[in-house]
């Protein structure tokens, strides 16, 4: 029983990442009708916003202490991060320690801006071009983004630890009589993802802006004829989608040290998630994300891998193929969206 | 000649001549000169030109004609390589059975995958093929290399060991050969300051490529090819005419899969090992780029694109800071350092950045590829209005 819940939990945090990326992909596809192969790269860029912030916060003043000597006999160098010098030692260390959650604040405007620039500068010119061209140009953009990050940060994964308070283990099942020690950051990640997802849904469902966007997704032309500048709103939705992917990346860094090819690793799976969920269906993307995440985690158990070796590597693709053959529209796909 | 009209015969003979004379044409700079690093006329690179040329020609039959954008074609190349190496392990180093099997296996494999993927079109098709290719990659990389059933030898890659049975080997050579003709044998011809290399492996691959090109040409000019173009232009209309388009797309898919298998077999024939990284999505992306760059839907385009990409991959990754400094050494040091600092991220290990940028620029500004661009320039010069001799990429998607 414990093992069962443990696998569900494991699946939930991987599924959260899939769901967040797939949500953004679907938003872009539903609003602008563009297949964004660079979405995984946005996730990766978000992760590196966290890395950058961590580096910036660790920028230090170097002072020489003449009383102490290092092992070469030179005066000892003491590095004091600027934040510690400015805010006092305790506050400074706390700020550095909390660099990943703080990166959320930095990531939102940065990712919105990147999304805005991307849409206005590049994607906009591809609305009337065939899907193949959209795929190709965003694919090229993904390579470029990935290589730029590689040129700046190198090819190795970079450790970005969670705050000390959240780096430990919580015993979740204590009140159920189960023993379920689980890394606290992963629980934080799941809760965070749930908040973001509900936030996006609430925004679309309960605000006038969201209502117009939903109307535009259903019938763009009519909304335009009603005198609403739908393009501008869609551009903003692209920014929101980029921000969602970026935040998913920021928060994922303590779980898995980021490296430059993260984007593509997650992209392929997220596409599968979107297709399984049903192209253009936001709830479908979220549902399929969690479903496939949990499925993958169950396939990674020792029992599964000894029965069918390597099943954890291919289970998602297998399920996707079966679903697409049995129900080509995806789990919650709407009629008429991306059909032949 | 050969069932081609006059224009096509000229094009075909042109390709034959270029391919067979490649060792001369690709070696324009004397061996000792500073520009010798731009020469491409050495066996390894020339083999890659023609092998990836075959791969791209095959991909073009699917993408260029039907408009179905497959993002998983490298899987067939990888499967072909594995099949060929298994033939080396079991029979002998003769490349003919190896290549035959790699084409057959890739054909069967693409039939199975195509049957599933072609149920959808447009982006669904792209994503499905991508998923299949990633699945094949994962299978080759880990699933099929467990101790009890080792088909792919995982990370190390499949290679031939001395302990392998090689039932038909007899006294045959220990290297890949074509009925005794060793693939890596190279004859060198020195003419003044130039040195030209003629490699058996290259010529074997070149003959295969010429043959592949000929078949592609016949497909392009056949009623079958016309049907494939019709699918690209307007599939819905075709369906309403009462034509079931799926057998045609499936045939195109399998043909292009077999081309990829042939390329994979030849890769193994020139260097008898096969690794899973050949099946990765980056490899699939590369062949898409080759085809787009050269010009999707044109005959010559894919070959041009393949050669272009492989050449620049080779040249760009060789350039390092020392080379850059030697180029700019005539300038004041500060400017020299500045220029090197600017160019540095794009060369050497940063070649992929250049590749990505090129990818974007081509798709944005030259969707018809190099062939289309060349035609436009040619028409501008001659002052003719654009003639529709070569059907270029049609702006309509597949669905």
Cβ within 8 Å, pair B345-A140:
no
Q: Are A147 and B124 within 8 A, CB to CB?
A: no
At B182 the pLDDT is 79
Q: Which residues of A touch B63 (CB under 8 A)?
A: 132
Alpha-carbon gap: A275 to the closest alpha carbon of chain B (Å): 7
CA of A306 to nearest chain B CA: how many angstroms apart?
A: 11
| DSSP H or E run through A200 | helix A184-206
Instruction: Report pLDDT for A340.
Output: 42
Per-residue pLDDT of chain A (340 residues; tens, 9 = 90+): 677 888 888 888 888 988 998 998 888 888 888 888 889 999 999 999 999 998 888 888 887 777 777 777 777 777 778 887 788 778 888 888 888 888 899 999 999 999 999 999 888 888 888 888 888 889 889 989 988 998 888 888 888 888 887 777 777 766 666 677 788 888 888 899 999 999 999 999 999 999 998 888 888 889 989 998 888 888 999 999 999 999 999 999 888 888 888 888 788 888 888 888 887 788 889 999 999 999 988 888 888 777 777 777 788 888 888 887 788 788 887 665 555 4
Phi, psi dihedral angles at B172 (to 5 degrees): -60, 160
CA separation for the pair A32, A38 (Å, rounded): 15
Nearest CA in chain A to B69: A132
Q: Residue B281: list chain A partners with CB under 8 A.
A: 264, 268
> What does the domain layout of chain B look like in residue ranges?
6-279
Determine the length of chain A.
340
> What's the pLDDT at B63?
92
- Of A79, A7, A28, nearest in space to A305 by CA: A7
CATH code: domain B6-279 is 1.10.3470
Nearest by CB to B353, from A144, A268, A314: name it: A144
Alpha carbon of A340: minimum distance to chain B alpha carbons (Å): 6
Closest CA to B311 of B28, B74, B48, B73: B48
| CA distance linking residue A258 with residue B50, whole number of Å | 38
Long-range contact list for B178-181, CB < 8 A, 24+ apart?
A: B178/B94, B178/B95, B178/B96, B178/B204, B179/B94, B179/B96
Q: How far apart are CA A28 and CA A9, in angstroms?
A: 29
Phi, psi dihedrals of residue A201, rounded to the nearest 5°: -65, -40
CA of B64 to nearest chain A CA: how many angstroms apart?
11
The reply to whether residue B131 touches residue A137, judged by beta carbons under 8 angstroms, is: no
d(CA B200, CA B197): 10
**Domains of chain A from N-terminus onward:** 2-60+100-326 (1.10.3470)
B6 CA: distance to closest CA in chain A (Å): 34
Tens of each residue's pLDDT in chain B, 399 residues: 677 888 888 889 999 998 888 888 888 788 777 777 778 778 888 889 999 999 999 999 999 999 899 988 999 999 999 999 998 888 888 888 899 999 999 999 999 999 988 888 777 888 889 888 888 888 888 777 777 777 888 778 888 887 777 777 777 777 777 887 777 778 888 887 788 888 888 898 999 999 999 999 999 999 999 999 999 888 888 889 998 989 999 999 999 999 999 999 999 988 888 888 888 888 888 899 889 888 888 889 999 999 988 888 888 787 777 777 777 777 777 887 787 777 777 777 778 888 888 888 888 888 888 888 888 888 888 876 555 454 555 555 544
Taking an 8 Å cut-off on Cβ atoms, the answer to whether A272 and B127 are in contact is yes
Backbone φ, ψ for residue B162 (5° rounding) = -65, -25
Note whether B357 contacts A151, CB cutoff 8 Å: no
Residues of chain B contacting residue A143, judged by C-beta atoms under 8 Å apart: 285, 352-353, 355-356, 359
Contact A279 B124 (CB under 8 A): yes
Taking CB atoms and an 8 Å limit, are A144 and B357 in contact across chains? yes
**Residues from chain A contacting residue B358 (CB–CB below 8 Å):** 140
Residue B324 parent element (H or E) = helix B321-327
* pLDDT tens digits for range A246-304: 999 999 988 888 888 888 878 888 888 888 888 778 888 999 999 999 998 888 888 87
How many pairs of residues across A and B have Cβ atoms under 8 Å apart? 136
pLDDT at position A335 is 65
d(CA B140, CA B6): 46
Chain B residue numbers touching A122 (CB-CB < 8 A): 360, 364
Q: Does the model's ipTM exceed the 0.85 cut?
A: no
Chain A nearest C-alpha distance from B371 (Å): 17
In whole angstroms, give the CA distance from residue B23 to residue B126. Answer: 37
| Angstrom distances, CA of residue A256 to CA of A77, A103, A249, A315 | 32, 16, 10, 21
Kindly give, in sequence order, each residue whose CB lies less than 8 Å from that of residue B245, ignoring residues fewer than 6 positions away: B227, B231, B235, B238, B239
Q: Do B119 and A136 touch (CB under 8 A)?
A: no
Going by their DSSP bridges, the two strands B194-199 and A181-183 should be labelled as unpaired
Residues of B in contact with A130 (CB under 8 A): 67, 395-398
Task: Output Rg (C-alpha) for chain B, integer angstroms.
Answer: 22
The residue among B364, B365, B368 with the most chain A CBs within 10 A of its CB, best to mutate, is B364
Write the DSSP string, B169-238.
-TT--SS-EETTEETT-EEEEEETTEEEEEEHHHHHHHHHHHHHHHHHHHHHHSHHHHHHHHHHH-HHHH
């Amino acid at each position: 029983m414990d093992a069962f819940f443990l696998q569900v939990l494991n699946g939930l945090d991987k599924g959260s990442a899939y769901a967040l990326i797939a949500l953004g992909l679907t938003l872009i596809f539903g609003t602008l009708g563009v297949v964004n192969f660079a979405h995984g790269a946005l996730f990766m860029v978000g992760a590196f916003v966290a890395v950058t912030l961590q580096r910036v916060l660790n920028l230090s003043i170097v002072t020489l202490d003449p009383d102490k000597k290092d092992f070469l006999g030179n005066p000892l160098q003491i590095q004091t991060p600027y934040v510690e010098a400015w805010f006092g030692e305790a506050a400074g260390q706390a700020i550095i320690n909390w660099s990943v959650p703080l990166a959320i604040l930095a990531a939102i405007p940065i990712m919105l801006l990147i999304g805005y620039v991307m849409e206005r500068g590049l994607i906009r010119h591809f609305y009337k071009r065939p899907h193949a061209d959209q795929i190709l140009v965003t694919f090229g953009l993904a390579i470029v983004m990935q290589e730029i990050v590689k040129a700046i940060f190198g090819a190795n994964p970079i450790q970005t630890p969670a705050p000390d308070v959240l780096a430990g283990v919580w015993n979740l099942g204590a009140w159920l009589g189960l023993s379920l020690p689980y890394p606290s950051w992963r629980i934080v990640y799941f809760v965070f993802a749930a908040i973001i997802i509900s936030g996006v849904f609430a925004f679309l469902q309960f605000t006038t802006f969201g209502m117009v966007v939903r109307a535009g997704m259903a019938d763009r032309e009519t909304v335009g004829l009603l005198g609403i500048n739908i393009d501008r709103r869609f551009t903003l939705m692209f920014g929101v989608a980029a921000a969602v992917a970026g935040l998913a990346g920021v928060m994922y860094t303590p779980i898995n040290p980021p490296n430059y090819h993260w984007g593509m690793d997650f992209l392929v799976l997220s596409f599968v998630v979107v297709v399984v969920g049903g192209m253009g269906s936001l709830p479908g993307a979220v549902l399929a994300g969690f479903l496939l995440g949990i499925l993958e985690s169950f396939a990674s158990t020792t029992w599964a891998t000894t029965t069918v070796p390597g099943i954890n590597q291919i289970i998602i693709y297998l399920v996707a193929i079966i679903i697409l053959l049995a129900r080509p529209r995806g789990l919650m796909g709407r009629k008429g969206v991306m059909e032949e | 000649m050969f069932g081609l009209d006059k224009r096509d015969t000229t094009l075909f003979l042109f390709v034959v001549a270029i391919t067979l004379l490649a060792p001369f044409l690709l070696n324009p700079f004397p061996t000792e000169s500073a520009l010798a690093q731009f020469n491409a006329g050495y066996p390894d690179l020339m083999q890659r030109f023609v092998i990836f040329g075959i791969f791209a020609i095959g991909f073009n039959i699917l993408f260029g004609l039907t408009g179905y954008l497959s993002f998983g074609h490298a899987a067939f190349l990888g499967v072909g390589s594995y099949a060929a190496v298994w033939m080396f392990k079991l029979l002998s180093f003769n490349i003919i059975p190896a290549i035959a099997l790699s084409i057959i296996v890739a054909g069967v494999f693409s039939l199975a995958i195509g049957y599933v993927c072609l149920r959808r079109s447009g982006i669904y098709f792209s994503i499905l093929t991508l998923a299949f290719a990633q699945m094949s990659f994962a299978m080759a990389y880990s699933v099929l290399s467990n101790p009890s059933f080792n088909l792919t030898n995982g990370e190390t890659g499949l290679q031939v060991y001395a302990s392998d049975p090689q039932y038909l080997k007899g006294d045959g050579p220990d290297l890949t050969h074509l009925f005794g003709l060793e693939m890596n044998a190279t004859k060198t011809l020195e003419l003044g300051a130039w040195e030209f290399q003629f490699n058996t492996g290259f010529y074997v691959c070149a003959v295969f490529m010429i043959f592949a090109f000929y078949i592609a040409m016949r497909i392009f000019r056949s009623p079958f090819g016309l049907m494939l173009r019709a699918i690209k232009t307007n599939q819905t209309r075709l369906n309403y005419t009462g034509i079931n388009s799926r057998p045609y797309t499936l045939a195109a898919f399998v043909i292009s899969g077999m081309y990829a298998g042939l390329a994979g077999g030849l890769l193994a024939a020139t260097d008898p090992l096969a690794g899973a990284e050949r099946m990765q999505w980056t490899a699939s992306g590369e062949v898409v780029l080759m085809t787009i760059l050269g010009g999707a839907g044109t005959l010559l385009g894919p070959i041009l694109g393949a050669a272009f990409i492989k050449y620049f991959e080779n040249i760009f990754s060789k350039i390092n800071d020392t080379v850059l400094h030697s180029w700019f050494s005539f300038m004041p040091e500060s400017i020299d350092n500045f220029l090197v600092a600017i160019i540095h991220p794009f060369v050497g290990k940063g070649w992929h950045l250049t590749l990505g940028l090129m990818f974007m620029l081509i798709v944005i500004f030259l969707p018809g590829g190099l062939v289309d661009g060349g035609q436009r320039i040619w028409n501008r010069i001659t002052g003719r209005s654009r003639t529709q001799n070569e059907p270029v990429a049609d702006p309509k998607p597949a669905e």
